[in-house]
Every structure is written in structure tokens, then in C-alpha cells.
Chain A
Amino acid sequence: MNPAQLLGWGAALFFTLGLLSYVFLGNQPLFRLSVALFVGSAAGYLAAAVLREFLIPSVRAAMAGEGSGWLPFFLGLLLLFYATRWRGPARLALGLMLGVAAATLLAGALLGTLFPQIQATWREWAAGASTLSPLQGMLVWFLLLAALSALHLGRTQGWPTLVRLPFRGLQLVGSLVITITLAVLLARVYQSALFALVDRLQFLVDLVFILIAGTG
């Protein structure tokens, strides 16, 4: 066990205990110190990483006339105006950024999820290679329609009763489907969090064993 490794383990032990102390003692100095050190070091690392990994290489590329040149820097400088009363130039840069992001998101959802999913489903269905039985396929379509109807935002007041009541039933089923889906996702996130907790406990126990073995 070298000193650097021991120092790293000691720091890890200190921060782990400091963060876990919130459970027992609430918001107290040890917890605040741990959080402050974590946030401060993370922010410092972030600044250094952005400077080293992005800004300096981008400036070099712009000075060499490569890439998009100085345009990104110009747009970035325009964003600084958002903190002043002259927000017009900043809105230009902000609008460009948000517009590009929205277009990318929309194009990705269409070309990367919707169309490929429809295509794959149809291809399997046409080739008879679908792993779903016809009953399962109908169930999938029914649940899909129910989920879509649950997301319907329009008014159904003027609809005929023969249409409105089944639609309301479909919406209820769709709400149940969405709830179960979100619950599964949340449970999976919780599972990962529990693994992180167990991993930290395992680290503490291992460290205790190592220290006992080292001193013994």
C-alpha cells in the first residue's frame, strides 16, 4: 500500500462518511464540508476540462482557419449581452442555439425512433418473423392507442356519448399504462442508486479489512 493510495482511500473514507452522516445527523458541518468540497472540486475540474478540451483547441482551430472559424466565439460573446439591457443580440444567438437543438431533437425522434420502429414492426410482420402472436400484437396496438388517447389534450364535451364514454375508458387504460411504465423506470433508477449505496458500504468494509491487515 503506497502513501498516495492510502491518502486517496482516506479522502474517500472521509467524504463517504461525511455524506452518509446526513442520514443520521441531518445538515451539519461535516456534511456541508463534504458537499462544498465535492461541488468546488467538480466545478474546478469542469472549468479546467472545458478550457483544456474545448476552448483552447477551438481557438487554435479558428486561428488556423479551420472549422467554422470565429463564428462560435462571436455567438458566444453575443450571449453575454443577455445579462444587460440590450438583449437583442443575445436573443439572436440564443434563438439560433435553441432552434438548432429543437430541430435536431425533432429530426432524431422522427428518423431515429418513429420511422425505424414502424419499419421494423412492419418488416417483421410482413416476413412472418414477428415474435409476437396475433393476440399479443393486438394487445400492443391497443395499449399504444390507449397511451396516445391518455395524452389527448382536446375537449371531449361535444362528442357523442357513444364515442366519448369508450374514449374515456381508453384514456383510463392509457393512464394506467403510462403510470406502470414510469414506475418501472423509476424502480430501475432506484435499483442503480441502491447498488451505489451497497458499493460504498462494500468499499468501507474492504478498507477496514485492509487497514486491519496492514496494521496486523
Chain B
Amino acid sequence: MDEIRCPECDHLNPITRTTCERCGARLSGWEADEAFPGEEPVASIEASGVLDDSELQAWLREVLGDETPEEEGAPAEPPPWAGEPEAEPQPHEPAPVLEEGPPEPVREEAQPPEARPEPTPHPETPETPPEPEEAPAPEREALPEAPVTAPESPEPEPIPTLETDFPEIDLGEPVLGEIALDESELSALLDEAAELEAPPAEPEGEATELVAVEEEPEPGQLPDWLAAAQQALEPVDTDLASPLAGIPDILPLEPRLAELARKEEVRPVFGVQLRGEERRWARRLAQWIQLEDQGEEAEEEDIPALPWRWWRLVVGMTLLTLLGLLVLLGPRRPVGSPAPTRGAQAFVNLVEGLPDNPVLVVFLDLEPAWAPEVQWSALAALRLLEARSPTYVVFSTQPYGSALAATLQDQVPIPRERFLWAGYLPGDLVAMALLARWPRAMALSTTIPEAWRNLSDSPMVLLVSDQATSTREWIEQLSPYLDRSTALVVIGPGQLLPVLEPYFDHQVQAWVAGARDAAALAAQTGLAMPESTWRAWAWSWVLALFLGLISALTLALWHRLQQREVT
């Protein structure tokens, strides 16, 4: 009987029609080129690309259980679009292979359990859970029993049914504190949210859909997400174009869920107990979301923070004012000589033992940033050395070396013929090693005395450096090439003293480190520091310490007040 029953009005129509004669509804219920969302498209349709109406209705009639006298008891002829049946089952396919029939998704839905062949597990794959034996079969669907080509397998274990074998799950409303997140994890999440405080700027005219904050529902009122889900379960117009058209409780929910997903109305809901800082961050996060809902930009700081700019201004002004007053009102007479350090005393002794007119090597490794203190030390050392009228061979590993050397030469002062600029050598550490090993070859000046070839030809090597690290590297590179007759003297700021102490006497024979040593040598050099500078420098320590302490206390007090405000 070449007729097809209308799914809407149950009217029998000729098989050649695609719409119902009575109600005009579509009879096929299948779009050949349309894959249902979430379903795997039928491979044969993909292969053929075109679905003929007669072919479609043939298998559809079979699915719907209409009388098909020509296929009764015989294997169904596959339509041409279904492709050739597989001659041999692939070994990795656990599913039974039917020789022929309609497309697989519909056929498997309609196949009664007794007619369905048992699955054949692959020997290498884990056991495939079989279908439940007592699954309800559709009334009208009775396909001919298909031959089973797969070998028999042992009786599979029945999978548990939903009603009997699974424990009951209480799907009540989530309770606050039910999900106990780790405090560190939550803090990390909230910190991450704080980093995202400033959202990327979006072009104007593209208003983004903002997510509303879910308020706690009133008693007896369903939460929004539950009301939305309940609304989604209500029957809606069936999409007749879908292959699952007419099957209740499956199709209507899907477009609604898709719509809900688009609107971002279905979101996970959980509860958590917040404490202390977490509660503050959560409140801030809720305020951000609320501000975004209102179309406003979130403020950077909703909790008043310590006004660091003003605090910095107060500290800086206090320090500068007090130091300025000390300098301005302090006595301008030369400061009295403090006791020299043992390195400075050793330098005085070394200078006394120098011969007249020696050739001394000077390595400059300093930058203008620390020039003030280094300048005092270097001037004191060079003025003391002037008593022996030495000739200086000056190298530099910093590009500013020539300018600083010229300044020193002018301030000491040193005659030009005794102050020989040997050049700048880049490369830091490698330059140090080259200068220590082959100083003569590295020198650019041609007026260097011929007698001077190596560092050991000089009775003294002066290293003028401003950094503790570079000073240590210089000592490491120079000391292997210096014999006991050549003294290594380091001139620099006071910060070098902790580094120089371990090398004293066996690798570093003397030093002039900092303004203190410069002041200690004032009696011999005549280079006296004003007492106002000395006093201001001495008091600067106390002032800096006092202001740092006040700042730390203020910061601690501010944080304490913030925590109290939050809690």
C-alpha cells in the first residue's frame, strides 16, 4: 500500500505526496541537507548529498510501521543513497552490523530489543555496556530481524536502571556553605577577578548584554533559574522539520534550552562561606557586576586606600626641609677628622712607602649616579698621592670614564703630562680580564713609559669603582696577576666596605671608601668637608630611619582600620 499516514491528522495520503491532502502538513518530516543539532549526520546522506523523495518515503514508511508487503520477512533493499553494505564487519566496531536498512539513527530508535542483535565487544576494547533488556519498544516499530554477523559474546552485565539501581539524589536548593571551597583557591579566584577589574574597551554602539545579579528569592518564590527551566519544560510548538518531530519530551526542550544558553540565563549556582578578606572581595565583585548592569564603569577603589601620593609628599618634604635646614644653618667650618678605617690607614702607610715618580695604574669603573661620594674619596686619595708625583695610566670600562677622569684631573689638580688617558674598553667582565692580563696592549695612549709593561711593574694599582658587585669582580680578575710588590687600592663609596673587608691585606692592601675616609684624610690632603654637610649626612640617617618607622606604623594602622571596617 503506497500510502503514508499524516502525523498530524492521521489521514492516509499517496506515497508520492510530500504534504498532507487534508491539513497540508509535511509528510516526510526530514530535511535531507539539514543535520539536527546534537546528532551525528547520517553518513549515507553525507555521501550522496541528495535525498530523493521516493527513497525517503520508503524508509520512513518502514520506520513508521506501515505495511510493506514487498519487504515482509525479507531483508530490506537499501536505497541507493545508503551506500553499499559492508562486506565484512570491521573488527573495532562493537555494534552489530545490519546488512541493509534505513539510516542508522532512526532504525536503532525503532528496533525492538528482541530483534536487536547483541553487541559484540572488541577483544581489545573494554566491555561496552549493553542496552537494557526491558527498554520500552515503540508500538508501531517492528523491523525484520536482521542477521547478526558478529560472533557471539558472553552475556553482558545489565546496566542499572535509573529508577531502581541509582541512589536518590536530593536536588534541593543549594545551601550557603554547602560547597566549601579552599580559602586559597577562592582568594586566587577573587584576585584574578580583581585583575580583570578594568574590562577591555569596546567600540561604541555595541552594547553588551549584561548579566544581572541574582537576588535571593523570597520565601515561596522560585529562583530565576528554576523558573526559567520550568518555563522551558512547558509544551511549545513542535518543529516539524526535525527528524524527532512529534516525539514528546525531547524536542520541545531543545530550542528553549538553546535560547536560554544564548541569553546566559542558565548559570551554575553555588554557595560558599566567606570570611574576612574574602567577604570584602566578594562585596567588591558584586558591586562591579551591579555597576555593569547599570551601564556604569566600576570604580578602581571602592574602599578608601592610603593616599600614598600625599604620604610620599609629606615624607619627602619633611626629609628635604630638615636636611636643607641642617645644611643651611650648619657651621661651614671644616669638619674635624674622624678616625680612619684600617684600610684608609693602610693607604697612608703605602703612600709613605712609595718611591718618587712611580707609574700608577688607575681603573675607572663608575657612573655619575654615585659620583658625589666617590669624588670625595678619589680626590682625597689622589691628593695624598701627589706628594710622590706619580704618573697615572688611566683606563675606564665605562663610557663616562673620560669625563670623570677629566674632572678629577682638574680638581686635584694633576698636570696633563702625568695623567695619561689610556682609553675606554667595553665588555665589563671580559674587559677587566683583558686589562688585568694585557694592560699595555689595551692602552690607546702612545705616551705611556716604555718600562711599564704589566700591572706588576707598578707599585700600586688604583681601582675607582662605585658598585660592590663590580668591585668584587675587579678584585677577582686583578689579584691573580698582582704580585706582593704591587698593592691593590680600592677607592669608592662607603657601600664597598662590607665587600672589601674579607679581601683586606692578602688581596686588597688598602682602600679609601666613602666620605668618612675622605674626611679622615683631610689632615694630610687639605680636602676638608664642610661641617654642615657632615652633620646633615649624619642626621639624614636618623631622619630616614624615623620617617621609615612612621611610614610603617601608619601603613599597619591603616590596614588594621580597613580590616575592622570590613568585619
Residues of A within 8 A of B (CB): 20, 23-24, 26, 42, 45-46, 49-50, 53-54, 57, 67, 100-101, 104-105, 108-109, 111-113, 116-117, 120, 181, 184-185, 188-192, 194-202, 204-205
Interface size in chain B (residues, C-beta < 8 A) = 59
B426 touches A50 (CB 8 A): yes
A192 touches B370 (CB 8 A): yes
A192 touches B533 (CB 8 A): no
A192 touches B493 (CB 8 A): yes
B373 touches A23 (CB 8 A): no
The reply on B272 being an interface residue by CB < 8 A is no
Residues of A within 8 A of B400 (CB): 42, 45-46, 49
How far is the CB of B438 from the nearest CB of chain A, in Å?
Answer: 10
- Given A45-B400, A46-B399, A202-B532, verify A194-B480 contact (CB < 8 Å): no
**Complex CA–CA separation, A111 to B316 (angstroms):** 46
The reply on B419 being an interface residue by CB < 8 A is no
Picked from A26, A42, A105, A201, the residue with its CB within 8 Å of the CB of B323 is A201
Picked from A26, A50, A116, A195, the residue with its CB within 8 Å of the CB of B506 is A116
Residues of A within 8 A of B430 (CB): 100-101, 104
A111 touches B320 (CB 8 A): no
Segment 531-567 of B: residues with Cβ below 8 Å from A:
532-533, 536-537, 540-541, 544
The reply on B285 being an interface residue by CB < 8 A is no
**Complex CA–CA separation, A45 to B496 (angstroms):** 28
Residues of A within 8 A of B507 (CB): 112, 116, 120
A188 touches B537 (CB 8 A): no
- Given A57-B423, A185-B495, verify A108-B433 contact (CB < 8 Å): yes
**Complex CA–CA separation, A45 to B426 (angstroms):** 15
For B543, the closest partner residue in chain A by CB is: A194
How far is the CB of B29 from the nearest CB of chain A, in Å?
Answer: 58
Picked from B472, B473, B544, the residue with its CB within 8 Å of the CB of A190 is B544
- Given A24-B313, A57-B423, A108-B476, verify A202-B498 contact (CB < 8 Å): no
**Complex CA–CA separation, A43 to B250 (angstroms):** 74
A45 touches B403 (CB 8 A): yes
Residues of B within 8 A of A197 (CB): 323, 540
For A194, the closest partner residue in chain B by CB is: B540
**Complex CA–CA separation, A194 to B313 (angstroms):** 17
- Given A53-B399, A192-B370, verify A116-B479 contact (CB < 8 Å): yes
A-B contacts, 26 of them at CB < 8 A, read A24-B313, A45-B400, A53-B424, A101-B429, A104-B429, A112-B477, A113-B476, A116-B506, A117-B502, A120-B507, A184-B498, A188-B497, A191-B541, A192-B370, A192-B494, A194-B537, A194-B544, A195-B537, A195-B540, A196-B369, A197-B540, A198-B327, A198-B533, A199-B373, A200-B372, A205-B327
How far is the CB of A208 from the nearest CB of chain B, in Å?
Answer: 9
**Complex CA–CA separation, A78 to B537 (angstroms):** 50
Q: 1/0 per position for B503-536, CB-CB distance to A under 8 A?
A: 0011100000011000000000000001011001
B477 touches A108 (CB 8 A): yes
Q: Which 6 A-B pairs have the closest CB atoms?
A: A112-B476, A23-B316, A188-B495, A108-B476, A53-B424, A199-B372
The reply on B263 being an interface residue by CB < 8 A is no
Segment 380-406 of B: residues with Cβ below 8 Å from A:
399-400, 402-403
Residues of A within 8 A of B370 (CB): 192, 196
A24 touches B429 (CB 8 A): no
Segment 450-501 of B: residues with Cβ below 8 Å from A:
468, 472-473, 475-480, 493-499
- Given A108-B433, A185-B495, verify A198-B479 contact (CB < 8 Å): no
A188 touches B399 (CB 8 A): no
A105 touches B479 (CB 8 A): no
Q: 1/0 per position for B341-372, CB-CB distance to A under 8 A?
A: 00000000000000000000000000001111
How far is the CB of B283 from the nearest CB of chain A, in Å?
Answer: 31
Residues of B within 8 A of A (CB): 309, 312-313, 316-317, 320, 323-324, 327-328, 369-373, 399-400, 402-403, 423-426, 428-430, 433, 441, 444, 468, 472-473, 475-480, 493-499, 502, 505-507, 514-515, 530, 532-533, 536-537, 540-541, 544
How far is the CB of B492 from the nearest CB of chain A, in Å?
Answer: 9
**Complex CA–CA separation, A191 to B543 (angstroms):** 12
- Given A23-B320, A45-B403, A53-B399, verify A192-B423 contact (CB < 8 Å): no
**Complex CA–CA separation, A198 to B541 (angstroms):** 11
A111 touches B476 (CB 8 A): yes
Residues of B within 8 A of A42 (CB): 400
For A66, the closest partner residue in chain B by CB is: B441
How far is the CB of B477 from the nearest CB of chain A, in Å?
Answer: 5
Picked from B316, B429, B514, B544, the residue with its CB within 8 Å of the CB of A192 is B514
Residues of A within 8 A of B313 (CB): 23-24
**Complex CA–CA separation, A195 to B516 (angstroms):** 11
**Complex CA–CA separation, A105 to B431 (angstroms):** 12
- Given A116-B506, A191-B494, A196-B370, verify A202-B429 contact (CB < 8 Å): no
**Complex CA–CA separation, A202 to B468 (angstroms):** 26
A202 touches B530 (CB 8 A): yes
**Complex CA–CA separation, A110 to B370 (angstroms):** 29
Residues of B within 8 A of A111 (CB): 476, 480
How far is the CB of B434 from the nearest CB of chain A, in Å?
Answer: 9
How far is the CB of B555 from the nearest CB of chain A, in Å?
Answer: 19
**Complex CA–CA separation, A190 to B543 (angstroms):** 13
Residues of A within 8 A of B424 (CB): 49-50, 53-54
A202 touches B536 (CB 8 A): yes
Picked from A100, A105, A188, the residue with its CB within 8 Å of the CB of B498 is A188
Residues of B within 8 A of A46 (CB): 399-400
Residues of A within 8 A of B425 (CB): 54
Residues of B within 8 A of A49 (CB): 399-400, 402, 424
**Complex CA–CA separation, A105 to B444 (angstroms):** 26
For A114, the closest partner residue in chain B by CB is: B476
A202 touches B327 (CB 8 A): yes
**Complex CA–CA separation, A191 to B541 (angstroms):** 7
How far is the CB of A22 from the nearest CB of chain B, in Å?
Answer: 9
A191 touches B372 (CB 8 A): no
Residues of B within 8 A of A185 (CB): 468, 495, 498-499
A192 touches B373 (CB 8 A): yes
**Complex CA–CA separation, A109 to B506 (angstroms):** 16
**Complex CA–CA separation, A202 to B533 (angstroms):** 7
B320 touches A20 (CB 8 A): yes
Residues of A within 8 A of B309 (CB): 26
A53 touches B541 (CB 8 A): no
Q: Which of B317, B371, B372 counts the most chain A CB atoms within 10 A?
A: B372
Picked from A101, A120, A189, the residue with its CB within 8 Å of the CB of B495 is A189
How far is the CB of A104 from the nearest CB of chain B, in Å?
Answer: 5
Residues of A within 8 A of B514 (CB): 191-192, 195
**Complex CA–CA separation, A34 to B227 (angstroms):** 66
How far is the CB of A107 from the nearest CB of chain B, in Å?
Answer: 8
B429 touches A195 (CB 8 A): no
B320 touches A109 (CB 8 A): no
Residues of A within 8 A of B428 (CB): 101
- Given A189-B495, A199-B533, A202-B532, verify A57-B476 contact (CB < 8 Å): no
